[in-house]
Amino acid sequence: MIELEGIEKTYVSSSVKTRVLTRVSFRIAAGEFVAIMGASGTGKSTLMNVLGCLDKPTAGHYRLDGTDMVNLDDDALSHLRNHKIGFVFQQFHLLDRATALRNVMLPLIYADQYPEDAHQRAEGALAAVGLADRMSYKPSQLSGGQQQRVAIARALITDPTILLADEPTGNLDSKSGAEVLAIFQRLHREDRTIIVVTHDRAVAEHANRIIVLKDGMIAEDQPVAQPRDAETELAAVVGKEAQA
């Protein structure tokens, strides 16, 4: 239900044109777990922005669940993001002065209809990521891994079509990173569509399919034969800690 057709993105700054994405085309079906890989400067951030409806391509078509981005104005894009996209950022981007619960509820503020059970939904989402007992904690009182889990709960609250994660483990230690990837894999088993953008092959290999970008173009698009299992890795790390 994600269709990219001939996506191009060119930046113009003081009469210098830089083409960042060239003829990017692929399809992602519902329920897939895809990793988009590439070194910095390969255009993977730009591709993520397009996928996340944060930026419009200069040419080509991006169809999400049948809707073509090309015709949408700013307000419509905002609306789409609210409904269909759940973001998880490398820097977490939580509101410092709000509790975990309020952070999770934030997307609902911008929804068309504020649900009556907003509170309960948020509590449920936090429980699903294992933070039921940390609802009223502020980000400064949570570890990096916990903060990212709050971000995941936030991303899920609107029941989006895709979960879009940008280097989700970039700021985390190996244990927290494994926890986060474990959650993603669980969500995948529950039929969520997940797209992770990363430069780290080890992270990308937790997905079921890897798309590699090089110089703004797709270099590879292959399924992963045997994805790494985050749960196992987590157990290993915990074991090491117990031994130390």
Partner 1 sequence: MRVLRIAQEGARALAGHKLRTFFMMAGTIVGIAALTVIMAVGKGTEQKVMKRVNAFGTHVIMITAGGGKGFSPPQEGVTTLRPDDAEAIRAQVPGIELLNVFAMKRGPPVKAGANQTQAVVTATDQNWHEAWDWPVTDGEPITDEDQATMARVCVLGTTTARELFGDQNPIGEYVQVGNVRFRVKGVLQTRGVSPHGGDFDSRVMIPLSTGLRRLFNQDHITNIRLKVGDSSRLTQLGEEVRQLLRRRHTITPPKEDDFSVFTAAEVAKEARGISRTLTYLLSALAGLSLLVGGIVLMNILLISVGERKKEIGLRRALGATQGDIFRQFLVESLSVTIIGMVTGSLLGWAVSVVLARVTQSPVVISWEPFALALAFALVVGVFFGVQPARRAAKLRPVEALR
Contacting residues toward partner 1, per CB under 8 A = 49, 52, 54-55, 74-75, 78-79, 81-83, 87, 89, 91, 93, 95, 97-98, 106-107, 109-111, 114, 154, 158
SS3 content of the chain, % helix, strand, coil (to 5): 40, 25, 35
Encoding tokens for residue 185?
Answer: 């894999």
Taking the least distance from each CB to partner 1, the nearer of 74 and 241 is 74
159, 100, 101, 153: which is closest to 128 by C-alpha?
A: 153
Contact yes or no for 38/201 (Cβ under 8 A): no
Encoding tokens for residue 128?
Answer: 């699903």
Which residue has tokens 């130390």? 244
Helix pair angle (100-109, 118-128), 10° resolution: 130
